[in-house]
Amino acid sequence: MTLTSDPPVGKTGERPETGAGPGADELTVVAVRRPWRWAAVAATAVVLVQFGHGLVTNPGWEWDVFAQYFASEAILRAVWVTLQLTFHGTVLGFALGVVLAFMRLSASPFLRAVAFGYVWAFRSIPLIVQLLFWFNLAYLYGELSIGIPFGPGFFSFDTVGLVGAMSAAVLGLALHQAAYAAEIVRGGVLSVDGGQLEAAAALGIPRLRRLRRIVLPQAMRSILPNAANEIVSLFKGTSIVSVMAIGELFYQVQVVYGRTGRVVPLLMVATVWYVLLTTALSVVQHYVERHYAKGSTR
């Protein structure tokens, strides 16, 4: 028994036409018919239209309530708080992440171990648990002081004043973000060909300049898509700080529907804001990536 089939036996003298035989310019190309693809398209289209129809006609969505709150002052202020949390979390998180990444890449086993330990710890602790810890910092350490360990302190802070709810949230988000940013930056740096650093060193280019001018711009190509993912997830993740009663978007929406009972349209308010801002971020990402793609194509 054989798994391959014999070539079909045609009538004697009838050969399959090969190549551009006589009359090649009269040949037309006929694409393979794909009936199932058309069936799938039709089915998907029906579902989409039904969903769209429901969105418009089902009174449960309460679009009038949506319109009333979408751009209301309380919601706009909450959107602003969300943006601030995202911005500070990202900037501080990535700044610390870059430091941690280079610690992990350094020649010092001590620095490597500390950075490794940091990443390990902050990736293991759920963000919400960490946030609640910071929020309750005042309970753990009434006063923070900077000085020699076990020795005299030089400065001291009152933690209640230092770590307000908003700072606790930013701190928590940034420390959490730093662990992920560190790995993303480290991955990006490792993706740059070692010959680049070597060539730069052979030219006598100073170390910091080598990183800033030669390595990081090339690392950016693999850092950016991952970083954008992280920023988007941080942006949506800010909703988690609603547990700390901070007036960000999701908290504010909950407050409003708690008062009015209009849950669905207010969830839609939050959803549309999140979608709009994520879209804006994707557009920015597109242009930033294009900038760093310089010289990458023929």
Partner 1 sequence: MSAALTTPPAAPAVPKVELRGVRKSFGSTEVLRGVDLDVAAGEVTVVLGPSGSGKSTLLRTINHLEKVDGGSVSVDGTLVGYRRSGNKLYELREREILRRRTRIGFVFQNFHLFPHLTVLENITEAPVSALRRPRREAEEAARKLLDRVGLADKETAYPKQLSGGQQQRVAIARALALEPGLLLFDEPTSALDPELVGEVLDVIRDLADGGTTMIVVTHEIGFAREVADTVVFMDEGRIVERGTPAEVLDNPVHERTRAFLSKVL
Tell me if 71 contacts partner 1 by CB under 8 A.
Answer: no
CB of 79 to partner 1, least distance (A): 36
Tell me if 106 contacts partner 1 by CB under 8 A.
Answer: no
The residue from 5, 203, 261, 283 that contacts partner 1 (CB under 8 A) is 203
Separation CA 163–CA 125 (nearest Å): 20
User: Between 158 and 193, whose beta carbon lies closer to partner 1?
Assistant: 193
**Segment near partner 1 (CB under 8 A); pick from 82-90, 112-120, 191-199, 256-264:** 191-199
The residue from 113, 199, 272, 284 that contacts partner 1 (CB under 8 A) is 199
Give the count of residues interacting with partner 1 (CB under 8 A): 24
User: Between 218 and 239, whose beta carbon lies closer to partner 1?
Assistant: 218
Tell me if 143 contacts partner 1 by CB under 8 A.
Answer: no
**Which DSSP category does 141 fall into?**
-
The residue from 79, 200, 231, 244 that contacts partner 1 (CB under 8 A) is 200
Tell me if 297 contacts partner 1 by CB under 8 A.
Answer: yes
∠ CA 123-175-126 to the nearest 5 degrees? 40
Tokens 């908003």 identify what position? 166
Tokens 């601030």 identify what position? 84
Separation CA 68–CA 62 (nearest Å): 10
For residue 297, the one-letter residue type is T
**Hey, which residues between 23 and 62 contact partner 1 (CB under 8 A)?**
none
**Hey, which residues between 215 and 234 contact partner 1 (CB under 8 A)?**
217-218
Tell me if 190 contacts partner 1 by CB under 8 A.
Answer: no
Tell me if 205 contacts partner 1 by CB under 8 A.
Answer: yes
**Segment near partner 1 (CB under 8 A); pick from 11-19, 149-157, 198-206, 252-260:** 198-206
Pair 89, 259: CB distance under 8 Å: no
Token pair in block for residue 23: 């009359």
Cα dihedral 215, 174, 179, 108 sign: positive
Separation CA 135–CA 132 (nearest Å): 5
Tell me if 195 contacts partner 1 by CB under 8 A.
Answer: yes
The residue from 74, 198, 233, 258 that contacts partner 1 (CB under 8 A) is 198
Tell me if 72 contacts partner 1 by CB under 8 A.
Answer: no
Cα dihedral 92→237→241→136 (10° resolution): -60
User: Between 214 and 269, whose beta carbon lies closer to partner 1?
Assistant: 214
Helix-then-strand count for the chain, H and E: 13, 2
Tell me if 3 contacts partner 1 by CB under 8 A.
Answer: no
DSSP 1-60: --SSPPPPP--TT-----SS-TTGGG----PPP-HHHHHHHHHHHHHHHHHHHHHHH-GG
Residues lying near partner 1 in the complex (CB under 8 A): 193, 195-196, 198-207, 209, 213-214, 217-218, 292, 294-298
